[in-house]
Amino acid sequence: MMLNYSYPLYRPPSEADSLIFQVTLGCSFNECSFCDMYRSKEYSERPWDEVKAEIDVMSKTLPETRRIFLADGDALNLQTDYMKNIVKYLYEKFPNLERISCYAMPMNVLKKTPEELKTLRDAGLNMFYLGIESGSDVILKKVTKGATAATIIRACKKAKDAGYILSCMIILGLGGKTHSKEHIKGTAGVINASAPHYVGALTLYLENGIKEEFKTKFGEPFIPVSDAESLDELEDLIRQIDVRNEVIFRANHGSNAYTVKGTFPQDKQMMLDKISWMKQHPEVVRPTGLRGF
Ligand code: SF4
């Protein structure tokens, strides 16, 4: 028996093999202008009897489970005690469990005290996926992210200090042509200041349902970057990332025109060399029909 999910259901690409439990539905913020993931849902928290019943069923169906992802958009919004009970129960029921992760907004992390984050970490919540999107305050405001570069950096540091593995997303093209340079400069700045364990670069892809809202909220004409300009952004970003600790970088998401991956600091030149090569071979671009957010 599989779970009766409330769709749409999302998880990061790297959680493709994880068992997913929906402990919240929707996103408690739901206002980022580029994101239509949970527009059809009102945020709610699922009661313990429902969550427990699903865990009980799945622990019999998939007892070998090693990785679990807690959905939907910001499971970390749950009260700490409730989240702790869920996490502890999962380890009780899945003896081979190694990792529990969830999406987290900067505000979710900042709302918890360091002790609360530590409590959840000690219980076995290991990893957060946190959307940086852009490190430019101008763009963060235009896309109504509800965060600034400073709050994002604080949240990342707080999560890392509490012992979490941090995987962050940034969105190429989010500032359009007009704010491209600023977008990359700010984003590299946030990555350098927070040095997440993983950084994934996606490319802006506006679903039809939110295009108009995105453009209106942007507050000035939005001129999308071309594939070639997106590659320039990727190159500038990689050039400006300067970290001492290892940062695993992936620009291989299905939304991207071009694919690059490597680990900072050691692979920086290799990634730049690959981009130079791709600029000579623009035909390696991912066909637009095969792209999605
Ligand atoms: S990007 Fe994240 S925080 Fe923003 S609306 Fe989408 S799910 Fe919510």
Give per-residue pLDDT as tens, 58-114.
999 999 999 999 999 999 999 999 999 999 999 999 999 999 999 999 999 999 999
Q: For residue 138, is pLDDT > 90?
A: yes
For ligand 1, is residue 76 a contact (CB within 6 Å)?
no
Q: For residue 8, is pLDDT > 80?
A: yes
What pLDDT shows up at residue 287?
A: 79
What pLDDT shows up at residue 6?
A: 95
Ligand 1, atom nearest to 133 Cα: 1
Contact criterion met (CB below 8 Å) for 114 and 78: no
Contact criterion met (CB below 8 Å) for 39 and 209: yes
Measured in angstroms, how far is the CA atom of residue 145 from the centroid of ligand 1? 8
Mean pLDDT of the chain: 96
How far apart are alpha carbons 107 and 151 in whole angstroms? 8
What pLDDT shows up at residue 226?
A: 94
For ligand 1, is residue 148 a contact (CB within 6 Å)?
no
For ligand 1, is residue 169 a contact (CB within 6 Å)?
no
What pLDDT shows up at residue 151?
A: 98
Measured in angstroms, how far is the CA atom of residue 264 from the centroid of ligand 1? 27
For ligand 1, is residue 73 a contact (CB within 6 Å)?
yes
Question: Which residue's CA is the closest to the ligand 1 atom numbered 4?
Answer: 32
Question: Which residue's CA is the closest to the ligand 1 atom numbered 8?
Answer: 30
What pLDDT shows up at residue 240?
A: 98
Q: Which amino acid is at 232?
A: D
Query: Which of 35, 39, 110 best tests ligand 1's pocket when mutated (most atoms within 8 Å of CB)?
Result: 35
For ligand 1, is residue 75 a contact (CB within 6 Å)?
no
Q: For residue 291, is pLDDT > 90?
A: no
Indicate left, alpha or beta for 255 from its phi (over 0: left) and psi (-120 to 50: alpha).
Answer: alpha
Beta strand 99-103 with 125-133: parallel, antiparallel or unpaired? parallel
User: pLDDT band at residue 140, thresholds of 50, 70 and 90?
Assistant: very high
For ligand 1, is residue 100 a contact (CB within 6 Å)?
no
Question: Which residue's CA is the closest to the ligand 1 atom numbered 6?
Answer: 35
Q: What is the pLDDT of residues 259-271, one digit of tens each?
A: 899 999 999 999 9
Q: What is the pLDDT of residues 18-29, one digit of tens each?
A: 999 999 999 999
For ligand 1, is residue 186 a contact (CB within 6 Å)?
no
What pLDDT shows up at residue 176?
A: 98
Q: For residue 1, is pLDDT > 70?
A: no
Contact criterion met (CB below 8 Å) for 164 and 117: yes
What pLDDT shows up at residue 254?
A: 80
Sequence-distant (6+) residues with CB within 8 A of 197 are 160, 165, 166, 167, 246, 247, 248
Q: For residue 293, is pLDDT > 90?
A: no
Domains and CATH numbers, the chain: 13-284 (3.20.20.70)
Measured in angstroms, how far is the CA atom of residue 80 from the centroid of ligand 1? 20
Q: What is the mean pLDDT of residues 193-217?
A: 96
User: pLDDT band at residue 252, thresholds of 50, 70 and 90?
Assistant: confident
